[in-house]
A and B are shown apart, each in its own frame.
Chain A
Amino acid sequence: MIVLPLSMDIFRLNLIGKYLSYAFVAIGLVLCWGYGGILSLGQGVFFGLGGYCMAMFLKLEASAPENTAIQSTPGIPDFMDWNQLTALPWFWEPFNSLSFTMIAIILVPVIFAFIVSVAMFKRRVGGVYFAIITQAIAAILTILIIGQQGYTGGVNGITDLRTLKGWDIRTDEAKYILYFLCCFMLFGCLLIAQFVRKSKLGRLLVAMRDKEDRVRFSGYDVSNFKIFVFCLAAAFSAIGGAMFTLQVGFMSPTFVGIVPSIEMVIFCAVGGRLSILGAVYGTLLVNLAKTTFSESFPELWLFGLGALFIGVVLAFPDGLAGIYKTWIEPRVSRWLVTIRAMRPPLSSSTTADTRS
């Protein structure tokens, strides 16, 4: 992550930054799905909510009265003007302040995730049913965003974002800074996820995934742990969404719906559903492959992607990290052992030298 900026031009770097913002979602999914056994097919919802919160703030800044003087009502975003809205809707008002936006990026998706997960986990809905209901929520939100064009920008989403507190986010320099910011945040999320995984909560999650009833009979309130980890995953996704908006410069319903949500699950599955770092690499790898493939063979790409899903699920359920664990690591360590076995005479002679 640190080496890449030195070796790439700004376009590629921005692309990598975009992929890294998906990695936030994948990390959340590793915790939620790999460890907790809760498969959510609606992570795009949280990604989108975070992204939209950021985009609303940026859009309000981009449509200050002096920039939008040609509209019939200056001072409101351009798509509202096209849809004959004359005043800013009430839920857009608070997004004039940056500090509120920062809080909202995390809080809105987390509250939403909390409501959904409390309703589901307290009544012991899990597994397949949870997956289908989250998927339905993703569908509902997409239809809602597209349908309410005047409030959300419809299919196009919120576009033409320019500045963050007067700082132009479209320059090369800004892109560098945003890339590093994204890496930094991702690193933070990695650490938090690692901490959760190593803690007692992480062990409980695994226990719950494998035998939920036993954990419940041991006196733990299973649903609370599930709610917590689901909300944490939602918060990660939301940060990813906000970073995505900042780096790409727009947000649209195409990142909210069912297809992107499932793709995010795939990133996580390819990287390895039990490895936090693997999720990041999986995301990078799938997206890089997607870009290069679809540039050169647009026809074949979907075949490749489909085959990748089937292959990963059938042959490598633990993904890249699983391959590493079962194939590469033992060989490398065996190789290291043989090297070490060859070395003793050499090292003993050197120690003898130093002694003398």
Chain B
Amino acid sequence: MFAEYTASELTSIFAMQGFAGLILFSVFVLMALGLAIIFGQMGVINMAHGEFMILGAYITYLTSNVFSEYVPTLFSGYFFLAMLLAFLATFLLGALVEWAMIRHLYKRPLDTLLATWGLSLILQQLYRTVFGAREVGVTLPDWLMGSYPLTEMIEIPINGIFVMVLTLIISLGVYFMMFRSRWGCQVRAVVQNREMASAVGINTEKVDRITFALGCGIAGIAGSAFTMVGSTGPTSGQLYIVDTFLVVVFGGAQSLLGTIASAFTISQAQSTMEFFLSGSMAKVLTLLVVVGILMLRPQGLFALKIRH
């Protein structure tokens, strides 16, 4: 299948697909980081994670509409406010959900799966009622449009670069919060030994609630960033939930670094194969390989060395 391309064409194909893969990678990382906190650290299966993302996306859409309607002069900067709002909204919703549902189910992880699936159905229908069944897209400000030509054959879209920079900032932020701050230390203590943590005076309920809400908040930012590369509909969240779970599990549920590494592998594999095969076959092959590797190595790529 490589025979019909020349060497220089192949290089630029790989470069272009590699870059498309990098954008996919950024999206995967943003989606998976929130889930890695909720699922990897807390052990809660949140099937409504995709719906939290979509909430972020819809809020971005609303903000962009408000800005273009009332303050068109500030339109070029709306995105930053939108991301903040998306984060706040999903953070609050996450805290509410934790209080109403999740905290009763910490001892029954498989039941969180069913309950959050119910939540995701409710949210989907809510979006359909409020925003309609059709997909919506946001208008990007001028400075995010267009692309940057690197060589004659390779062009890089600017919004892609923006998403990547955003991913980098958020990943670093999560890293510092989880591993370099007092609060992250408390989270890890609660996860490893709940009784002991509460015995030394950590308010475990509060830590749980904020951790869950923070995971949801990152999903909201992911959804907000997602509006730059695709359109949003009520059921878009469901399309990504399997991918996201696989990314987290493949990387080793408890390792944030593993999550990033597996997002990179999966996205690059998929994007490179997409050029040579049809999109659906590329996806099938990628997923098959991931499932195959998981069967051989159930703990994922980067497993924490803990005795069970």
Residues of A within 8 A of B (CB): 39, 41, 119-120, 123-125, 127-129, 131-133, 135-137, 139-140, 143-144, 146-147, 258-259, 262, 265-266, 269, 299, 301-303, 305-310, 312-314, 317
Q: How far is the CB of B194 from chain A (nearest CB, A)?
A: 18
Tell me whether B49 is interfacial, beta carbon within 8 Å: no
Contact of A303 among B109, B115, B125, B242 (CB under 8 A): B125
Residues of B within 8 A of A (CB): 43, 45, 101, 104-105, 108-111, 113-115, 117-122, 124-126, 129, 238, 242, 245-246, 249, 278, 280-281, 283-284, 287-288, 290-291, 294-296, 298
Query: Is A307 in contact with B122, judged by CB distance below 8 angstroms?
Result: yes
Contact of A123 among B118, B280, B298 (CB under 8 A): B298
Query: Is B283 in contact with A143, judged by CB distance below 8 angstroms?
Result: yes
Query: Is B245 in contact with A309, judged by CB distance below 8 angstroms?
Result: no
Query: Is A306 in contact with B242, judged by CB distance below 8 angstroms?
Result: no
Query: Is A39 in contact with B113, judged by CB distance below 8 angstroms?
Result: yes
Contact of A140 among B117, B124, B287 (CB under 8 A): B287
> What's the count of A-B pairs with C-beta under 8 Å?
112
Q: How far is the CB of A289 from chain B (nearest CB, A)?
A: 14
Contact of A314 among B101, B125, B288 (CB under 8 A): B101
Query: Is B122 in contact with A131, judged by CB distance below 8 angstroms?
Result: no
Query: Is A306 in contact with B110, judged by CB distance below 8 angstroms?
Result: no
* Docked complex Cα distance between A123 and B114 (Å): 26
Query: Is B242 in contact with A139, judged by CB distance below 8 angstroms?
Result: yes
Q: Which residue of B lies closest to A118 (CB)?
A: B295
Query: Is B118 in contact with A306, judged by CB distance below 8 angstroms?
Result: yes
Q: How far is the CB of A123 from chain B (nearest CB, A)?
A: 5
* Docked complex Cα distance between A312 and B111 (Å): 10
Q: How far is the CB of B111 from chain A (nearest CB, A)?
A: 5
* Docked complex Cα distance between A306 and B101 (Å): 13
Question: Beyond A123-B295, A133-B294, A136-B246: 4 further Cβ-contacts under 8 Å?
Answer: A132-B45, A135-B242, A143-B287, A265-B114
Query: Is A317 in contact with B245, judged by CB distance below 8 angstroms?
Result: no
* Docked complex Cα distance between A352 and B85 (Å): 84
Contacts of B284 in A (CB 8 A): 140, 143-144, 147
Main secondary structure of the interface of B (DSSP, over half): helix
Query: Is B280 in contact with A132, judged by CB distance below 8 angstroms?
Result: no
Contacts of A135 in B (CB 8 A): 242, 245
Query: Is A131 in contact with B118, judged by CB distance below 8 angstroms?
Result: no
Nearest 3 A/B pairs, CB to CB: A309-B118, A147-B280, A306-B122
Query: Is B291 in contact with A136, judged by CB distance below 8 angstroms?
Result: yes
Query: Is B114 in contact with A313, judged by CB distance below 8 angstroms?
Result: yes
Query: Is A305 in contact with B114, judged by CB distance below 8 angstroms?
Result: no
A127-B109, A313-B111, A317-B111 known; A299+B125 contact, CB < 8 A: yes
Query: Is B115 in contact with A310, judged by CB distance below 8 angstroms?
Result: yes
A262-B117, A302-B122, A306-B119 known; A136+B295 contact, CB < 8 A: no
Query: Is B242 in contact with A305, judged by CB distance below 8 angstroms?
Result: no
Q: Which residue of A lies closest to B283 (CB)?
A: A143
Q: How far is the CB of A37 from chain B (nearest CB, A)?
A: 8
* Docked complex Cα distance between A146 and B298 (Å): 29
A143-B280, A302-B124, A307-B118 known; A124+B109 contact, CB < 8 A: no
Contact of A146 among B105, B115, B238, B280 (CB under 8 A): B280
Query: Is B245 in contact with A302, judged by CB distance below 8 angstroms?
Result: no
Q: Which residue of B lies closest to A120 (CB)?
A: B295
Contacts of B245 in A (CB 8 A): 132, 135-136
Q: How far is the CB of A200 from chain B (nearest CB, A)?
A: 25
Contact of B281 among A136, A147, A258, A301 (CB under 8 A): A147
* Docked complex Cα distance between A285 and B84 (Å): 44
* Docked complex Cα distance between A126 and B115 (Å): 20
Contact of A258 among B111, B242, B291 (CB under 8 A): B242
Contact of B298 among A129, A137, A308, A310 (CB under 8 A): A129
Q: Which residue of B lies closest to A41 (CB)?
A: B113
Q: How far is the CB of B31 from chain A (nearest CB, A)?
A: 15
Contacts of B105 in A (CB 8 A): 313-314
